[in-house]
Chain A
Amino acid sequence: MASAPPILQLKDVKKSFGSLNAVDGVTLDIVEGELFTIVGPSGSGKTTLIRMLVGMDKPTSGDILLRGKRINDVPANQRPTCMVFQSLALFPHMTVGENVEYSAKCKGIPKKQRKEIGTRYLKLAHMPQSYYDKPVKKCSGGERQRVALARALAFEPEILFFDEPLSAIDYRLRKTLEKELKDIQRETGKTFVYITHSLEEAMVMSDRIGVMRDGKLAQIGSPSTIYTKPQDRFVTEFMGEVNTIPVSLADDGRLVSAELSASFTPPDALPGGFTSGVLIVRPEDMSFVNSANSANGAPENQVEGELFNEYLLGSRIQYQVRSAEMTFLIEELRADAVTRALGDKVTLTWRASDSMVFAE
């Protein structure tokens, strides 16, 4: 995939509103045929960015190139790209079919062919033909999603953009549609650029993810790279719940936590010139000390605490452990869990190689 030429290039793209830099220098190549997700918290500038990519807004500076051609000033209706809006923006006074045919109508395609196009793309979006003449006002949430997708696909865009279209629907349907969307992307081979605040959504669907913060891309990489090798504390915490321990480097090379009055073995690679910062361990990388993992002597990292609460997460169980003024989260597979009582004294441990350290 890396050898394919980029279909869309962003070169130091900036957008400011007054003194606010909503998008603050984004450089990015999007490869033809990939599903690229831009993920970030609200206010990170991702919607502003996508509006520039589809042509609703113009960048303050920087360049946007589509297949090598600068398209900064090309308005949305003259770009071969299309977007599925957050609100879907279906035309409420039209039927399902009229919505899907709209772009063909704009191109001046005759009625009979328009219907063929509409039918083809409705089918691609898993909508039965019987919905063709149904008013969109009478469609359910999931049906509307499919109509919006079919309408955008029927435009036959070179790149299809999505501005968090799934954010407003219930969990189960969202999970189904996420997978369907990825399947449709594979089926059509189109380039999809997806925006979301949900990292979970990004993980499920993406070939590559760009994590956005304060108008900048903090990290770009495959979902597994982002997960296993997050670049900084922001990306790590954005990926999900983590345990964060403020530490400083002691002379003996160990990491000392003043709050826990304990010291820990650092992972192999410490950031250059590290003196103090945070030690981060994911809940699933933590475990309770028991006879199995202490068989060869006491584990290298230990925190003693009290079991405060437990949460059942389907196939896993998450525990909250309190130690000094800190709380820790530990996850175990339900199958591996032993019965514990709330209030029990427990000892936590983790492998140094599973921990991450960031300077602060």
Chain B
Amino acid sequence: MGNLSPLARRLLSSYIGVILVIMYVPIVTVGLASISKSRFFIFPIRKTSTKWYEQTWSSLQIQDSFITSLSVAACVALISVILAFFGALAYARYDWRGRSLFQQILLIPIFFPQAVLGLALQLWFNSLGINMSWEATVFAQMVWIVPIVTLIIAIQAFGYDAAVEEAAFDLGASRWMIFRTITLPLLGPGVFAGFLFAILLSWGNFPLAYFTSGADVTTPEWLYGKMIGGYTPMVPAVGLITVLLGGIILAVGLKINGMLQREQ
């Protein structure tokens, strides 16, 4: 922006400002809706109240949904990272027969609309006789999330000189020692970023959970259920809490990632 005239600079700033407002006003609206005393959202708000937050806090249904969502996210993130780590090495690091096919096939789940993918998985689980539950949701979300995490880690794997592993091998290191002292530390930041992505994508995912969770209810599912029947301002309250939790996970994660990068 160094060589812009003052007028152009001001125009550009206001343009960015308008975009930001348009993008984030809906979230502010959600926040406003959650503190409205009346049951239905009417603007401007006449009376404010924190009672919906109190009810949210004490609702067992909502507590359950949070626990379910967190369990799903934690399982998805852990398993995805392990699978994706080795997948990324196969994707980026080693030459093997079928590698390019693997690289292409890996991306297919990402291109499926999630509703279609969810339906397909539901039919598939049904025909395999697997019960719909949050555990089934873990598998369903992994179909979509593992490829994404693999790509994130693969970027890191592409970024380092493969000769360092050979050099370690040449200096007498065993396979395990190379993995522990070279490969893992060098891929560390990518692995962590992948983990973070997996948690956030799972935390906010609705369509795959909707088709596969059966009687278990994740937070996005609870939100959806209340939207189509039985709306109260607890919906925006839960929505806002969900966003804030996601934000906290992201902020803490970025902080840790920054520390990992600096250590290198």
Contacts and interface: CB of A to CB of B under 8 A. Distances in A.
A89 B169 contact: no
B161 A82 contact: no
Q: At the interface, is chain B mostly helix, strand, loop or mixed? A: helix
Q: What are the 9 A-B residue pairs with the smallest beta carbon separation, nearest first? A: A89-B167, A89-B163, A106-B172, A103-B171, A76-B170, A93-B264, A89-B164, A106-B173, A77-B169
B182 interface: yes
Interface string B141-171: 0000000000000000000110110111111
Contact of B171 (A56, A86, A92, A151): A151
Contact of A77 (B173, B263, B264): B173
A352 B168 CA distance: 55
Contacts of A78: 172
A56 B167 CA distance: 10
Interface size class of B (residues with CB under 8 A): 20 to 34
Contacts of A135: 264
Interface in A135-158: 135, 137, 151-152, 155
Contacts, number: 67
Contacts of A90: 164, 167
A89 B172 contact: no
A93 B185 contact: yes
Interface residues of A, number: 27
Nearest to B178: A77
Contact of B172 (A93, A103, A137): A103
Q: Which of B163, B169, B172 has the most CB of A within 10 A?
A: B172
A91 B160 contact: no
Given A89-B164, A93-B263, A102-B181, 14 more contacts: A54-B170, A55-B170, A77-B169, A83-B170, A85-B166, A90-B164, A91-B168, A91-B182, A92-B161, A93-B185, A103-B171, A106-B171, A106-B174, A137-B264
Interface string A227-254: 0000000000000000000000000000
B172 A107 contact: yes
17 contacts: A56-B166, A76-B169, A77-B174, A82-B170, A83-B167, A86-B163, A89-B166, A90-B164, A91-B167, A91-B182, A92-B160, A92-B164, A92-B186, A106-B168, A106-B173, A106-B177, A137-B264
A87 B169 contact: no
Interface of B: 160-161, 163-164, 166-174, 177, 181-182, 185-186, 263-264
A85 B264 contact: no
Interface of A: 54-56, 75-78, 82-83, 85-87, 89-93, 102-103, 105-107, 135, 137, 151-152, 155
A91 B169 contact: no
Nearest to B174: A77
Nearest to B167: A89
Nearest to B263: A93
